[in-house]
Structure 1
Amino acid sequence: MQITVNNQSHSLPEGSTIDALLAQLQLTGKRLAVEMNGEIVPKSRHNTTPLSNGAVLEIVVAVGGG
């Protein structure tokens, strides 16, 4: 299936979850926010929220500094 993440096209197997996408993008364990089709998806639902063909996601990674 094809999805768009931060304006870039990505291919994933059918039935993939947000957690699977984050693993593919090497973002597992990072502090981030995920929005799918205009709605924030809480971190507690990343492993159970399936992605669908044509989904549009925005992922923002928190960066610390001083």
Structure 2
Amino acid sequence: MAVICGKSVPEADGKTLSEYILSAGYHAGRIAVEYNGEILPKADHDKTVIASSDDIEIVEFMGGG
């Protein structure tokens, strides 16, 4: 199963990255994704299918002061 933000997430396997991002409640316009050690461009989120061996980090940007 895929590891996302340090946790095993079996339900992510087989989904596109965009599908997972939406289902997990992230705001797609405010995130950066590291996919297997490399930054993944937003243009690739729709065509990247999550596999059981993937290691993914999602960082959500927040405003504040």
TM above 0.5, one fold? yes
1:28 Cα deviation (Å)? Answer: 3.9
1:29 Cα deviation (Å)? Answer: 3.2
Partner in structure 1 of residue 42 of structure 2: 43
Which protein is richer in helix relative to its size? 2
1:61–1:53 distance in 2 versus 1, CA, 3 Å: same
Structure 2: segments with no counterpart, 5+ residues: none
Alpha-carbon distance between aligned partners in 1 of 2:56 and 2:13, rounded to the nearest angstrom? 16
* Count of aligned residue pairs for this structure pair: 65
The amino acid that maps onto 1:5 is: I
Structure 1: segments with no counterpart, 5+ residues: none
Partner in structure 2 of residue 34 of structure 1: 33
Moved over 6 A (4+): none
Percent identity of paired positions between Structure 1 and Structure 2: 32
RMSD over aligned Cα atoms: 1.5
The amino acid that maps onto 2:58 is: I
The amino acid that maps onto 2:44 is: R
1:53 Cα deviation (Å)? Answer: 1.1
What is the TM-score of this pair, normalised by structure 1?
0.84
The amino acid that maps onto 1:34 is: V
